[in-house]
Structure 1
């Protein structure tokens, strides 16, 4: 397949390029495009044949539901009902990095929702994403624009690396600001339940619903027969080619344990280390990359996927990562890290 690549200045939008990509969506094609969270791979959410192409291009399991992206708060035709508390969240956080799960209407094909009676919907704040949805004239189903299982792309170059020749169009913009996928909230239950943590945290959402909670299953390894209600709940995600192991505990002990593992394996393994600004100088051996300052977890989240992907280009045999406190945005960071490691964690 001949993949067309265009790059847009988000401060000076070329509407002709947007319209061109919108036409591809209208005609049943696939378009990779930027959002504020990660880059998405989009198709007409109401066209089951187009949606099927997403699963094929990504190699994505068909029991892994897709998120429907919209450009308006008017979603009544896509869902059976919108609970009042969901309207509060929409009014406060849409457009933005949060997905809400509703009971779907018959307009949503079964393949889009992976056979579930529910569907996740979000309204991205990225200007290119918004204009693309408007130009296509339809809601856009879009998982991350990468090969299934790999770290999600936050830069257009990663989309090209994974999907060139497999999709119709790659629409490039700036680096994604958030860097991890949207928070997912199940609005079909009482109290509301978080099915995927993100930068809109449980603490923030408790200002609207004091009883909202995080599904315990998302921070542990799921069973084989688990049926995911939201993307990212079941399968190994965000994984570079080399195995990842997380070292969790007191930071001083973490550094000591990582150095011990590196020195034990120095003769036969090339080891990558995911560190932070506070610790990177404490590792005399190994290939060390910092995610950023531990006091600025927004930056850590923004850098996480590209750091994971970056290790693929230097052929390390093993990646050792420091852990983060599971509080606030740290919950989202650790959710992604645990999945990238297949829940391989050493506690110190």
Structure 2
């Protein structure tokens, strides 16, 4: 199969392919999604096959407006209207109980709930409208590997496996959306993202819980990205605390390990390593935007035996960054002797 890269003016053709049951990757503000018509179970099955993704993993359903959720949702949480008004379109996925048989079990992972999101990307909103159906959209990459933040990342992973990729440049945020479970009485964040617990609580004026449970391989997750290890390159990743860089690099050299560094300019300028990917600046925003690109670049360069990576405080956006980094590293920090 030839995989075409489409520009915005070719959007109508991309929508036609989706209607025919083909797979087309699309841009969002978070990462690129692997699109299929959510109402065509055979197309959705192809998503799992192409990604090599476990079929128990539920998929997020992408909609062009809130009204598109109505044929599927059985009951909305009382806070839904306030949440949608403040955070949609945007990097926030909402989980609701759904009407029986309204969505295929291939989409829901066999659960009685489903996840919905309205992405903050005009091209993709127009794509959904032209397709005249909601789209599933897991990250458009090989399952378990770093998610794609450019069309070129998607092409690298899925060339020859999907019909096309709608290109809208690099994503602005760089990690997947916050997943908020609204199927119970109390809102619970199942996956942290750019919409933080603090932001949600400020708008809702009520407590929002944070589920820190790591799903084992044998368990069925309620939302994507809940597995213990995920987003991992082939090269081992080790997290390094602020005061441990010197010792970490010395350890790697002693072990004759070629070091790849993923960090901000302050760390990058202080320590020379064989291969480096330096974030745009020292903020957590820059680190979050560059995390997946950096892991991919260092891994694909093949010049490192280990990737040493900068950590950030686990608050606000740092919670999302560290959630992804910990899984990429299999929870492994450099530990002093």
Q: Please give the TM-score of this superposition, normalised by the length of structure 2.
A: 0.95
Instruction: Determine if contact 1:149/1:235 at 8 Å carries over to the other structure.
Output: no
User: Aligned-pair distance for 1:84?
Assistant: 2.0
Matched, 1:255 2:249: no
User: Aligned-pair distance for 1:347?
Assistant: 4.9
Aligned to 2:294: 307
Instruction: Determine if contact 1:197/1:331 at 8 Å carries over to the other structure.
Output: yes
Alignment partners' CA distance in 2, 1:241 and 1:262: 18
SS at match of 1:41: strand
Aligned to 1:152: 147
Alignment partners' CA distance in 1, 2:122 and 2:252: 44
Deviation string 1:34-79 (CA, Å, 9 cap, x unpaired) is: 1111000000111111100000011001011100000011121121
Aligned to 2:78: 84
Deviation string 1:85-121 (CA, Å, 9 cap, x unpaired) is: 1221111100011000001222211010111111100
Alignment partners' CA distance in 2, 1:333 and 1:111: 29
Matched, 1:193 2:181: no
SS at match of 1:81: coil
User: Aligned-pair distance for 1:30?
Assistant: 0.3
Deviation string 1:130-168 (CA, Å, 9 cap, x unpaired) is: 011001000001100111111111111011000110011
Question: Which of 49, 61, 69 pairs up with 2:42?
Answer: 49
Aligned to 1:37: 30
Matched, 1:119 2:110: no
Instruction: Determine if contact 2:313/2:319 at 8 Å carries over to the other structure.
Output: yes
SS at match of 1:77: coil
Alignment partners' CA distance in 2, 1:209 and 1:191: 12
Instruction: Determine if contact 1:263/1:285 at 8 Å carries over to the other structure.
Output: no
Deviates more, 1:278-287 or 1:237-246: 278-287
SS at match of 1:278: helix
User: Aligned-pair distance for 1:235?
Assistant: 5.5
Q: Please give the TM-score of this superposition, normalised by the length of structure 1.
A: 0.92
Instruction: Determine if contact 1:244/1:318 at 8 Å carries over to the other structure.
Output: yes
Aligned to 1:11: none
Question: Which of 48, 56, 59 pairs up with 1:66?
Answer: 59
Aligned to 1:318: 306
Compared with structure 1, are the counterparts of its residues 48 and 245 closer, same or farther at alpha carbon in structure 2 (3 Å cutoff)?
A: same
Aligned to 1:7: 7
User: Aligned-pair distance for 1:210?
Assistant: 2.5
Matched, 1:93 2:80: no
- CA RMSD of the aligned region, Å? 1.4
- Structure 1: gaps (5+ residues): 9-13
Instruction: Determine if contact 1:273/1:288 at 8 Å carries over to the other structure.
Output: yes
Compared with structure 1, are the counterparts of its residues 128 and 110 closer, same or farther at alpha carbon in structure 2 (3 Å cutoff)?
A: same
User: Aligned-pair distance for 1:313?
Assistant: 2.4
Aligned to 2:135: 140
Alignment partners' CA distance in 2, 1:35 and 1:216: 26
- Structure 2: gaps (5+ residues): none
SS at match of 2:265: coil
User: Counterparts of 1:146-225 in structure 2 under 5 Å?
Assistant: 146-207=141-202, 208-218=204-214, 222-225=215-218
